[in-house]
Amino acid sequence: MSDDTFRAGFVAVVGRPNVGKSTLINAIMGSKISIVSRRPQTTRHRILAVQTTKTHQIIFVDTPGLHRNAGKVMNRMMNKTAVNALLDADLVVFMCEANRWTHEDQYALDRLHDIKSPAIAVLNKVDKVHPREEALIAIAEMTERYTFEDVVPMSAKRNENVDRFLELIPKFLPESELLFPADTITDRSELFRTAELIREKLTRYLRQEVPYGLTVQIERFERDEHGVAINAIIWVERDSQKGIVVGKGGSVLKRVGRAARLEMKAEMGMPVHLEMWVKVKDNWADNEKDLLSLGYDTP
């Protein structure tokens, strides 16, 4: 590859839910592109993160976690979104945990057998492997599971070995001009990221299975010299979930609103006025029409 060859392409990051795909994307970009939480299936959409240098442009594709029990329309949509990202990628990054291999990991890995693109394996959370020599065994096991171009042990949360991972990517990208303007960092709008940030806070504060049955829709987003005014609707699937989201005396909603406002204020650099309402849309996650109206791409 000559010094003056510019390369650009798509890199799909795939794996089962909750292996750290969004954490890796955010570590690479140095800012929050995708929301994160400890709960599986936090990422529901395909989100692009664009890194541009003088020699290349890498478009990372953050995907929902591939999972077997896809009973609802939303779950099937999430799987389809991840599979489509695989088919369109110039390079696939398969991510799993360095100290754990599950049936869900195998299910996700099996999806790679239908693609022709080269693939790199990332063994995340290597900081949890003790003794560290066990990581060598994990690397050897991954090389037997699939023909990877490379296997990289990593801790995305601690930014350990992320640089080495990034150095591997450009040679797999095709020669190309810029695919996005050089100052682009994501394809998602400010409204989308605002809704996702609120959902992240809800996911972190709520218990049980309520986070899987809610989504956030921005009804109003206005900015002037005084700050930003945001009205958001939190949709839940059942009446019983509404009380849990609101909390006793509105306690949960107040905590979520405060956490979301503080992060928005820091990101936008101006005061934020946020109002939220909780409404019920029966079984929205299993209704294709509702999913479309709420901004989801259905299968």
pLDDT band at 70 (very low <50, low <70, confident <90, very high): confident
Indicate the number of domains in the chain: 2
Is pLDDT above 60 for 299? Answer: no
Residue 2 domain-assigned (yes or no): no
So what's the pLDDT on residue 169?
98
Residues 237 and 159 in one domain: no
So what's the pLDDT on residue 209?
65
> Measured between alpha carbons, how far is residue 272 from residues 219, 255, 266 in Å?
15, 15, 10
Residues 165 and 206 in one domain: no
Tokens (6 digits) for 110: 């099996």
Residues 161 and 194 in one domain: no
> Measured between alpha carbons, how far is residue 231 from residues 85, 218, 252, 276 in Å?
32, 6, 17, 6
Final residue of a structural domain among 139, 172, 205: 172
> Measured between alpha carbons, how far is residue 14 from residues 25, 62, 107, 224, 267 in Å?
11, 7, 11, 39, 28
Q: Which of 115, 116, 122 is nearest to 166 (CA)?
A: 122
CA distance 126 to 124: 5
So what's the pLDDT on residue 163?
96
Residue 179 domain-assigned (yes or no): no
* pLDDT-above-90 percentage for the chain: 87
So what's the pLDDT on residue 1?
46
Distance from the Cα of residue 261 to its chain's centroid: 21
pLDDT band at 3 (very low <50, low <70, confident <90, very high): low
Instruction: Quote the mean pLDDT of the chain.
Output: 93
Residues 90 and 159 in one domain: yes
Q: Which of 90, 55, 45, 86 is nearest to 199 (CA)?
A: 45
Residues 201 and 95 in one domain: no
Final residue of a structural domain among 110, 139, 172: 172
DSSP string, 2-57: -TT--EEEEEEEE-STTSSHHHHHHHHHTS-SS---SSTT---S-EEEEEE-SSEE
- The mean per-residue pLDDT over the stretch 164-192 comes to 96
Contact 86, 112 (CB under 8 A): yes
Final residue of a structural domain among 172, 198, 218: 172
- Check which CATH number belongs to the domain holding 247 and give it: 3.30.300.20
Question: Looking at the chain, how many residues does it have?
Answer: 299
Residue 180 domain-assigned (yes or no): no
Q: Tell me which residue range forms the domain holding 152.
A: 7-172
Residue 120 domain-assigned (yes or no): yes
So what's the pLDDT on residue 298?
60
Residues 197 and 141 in one domain: no
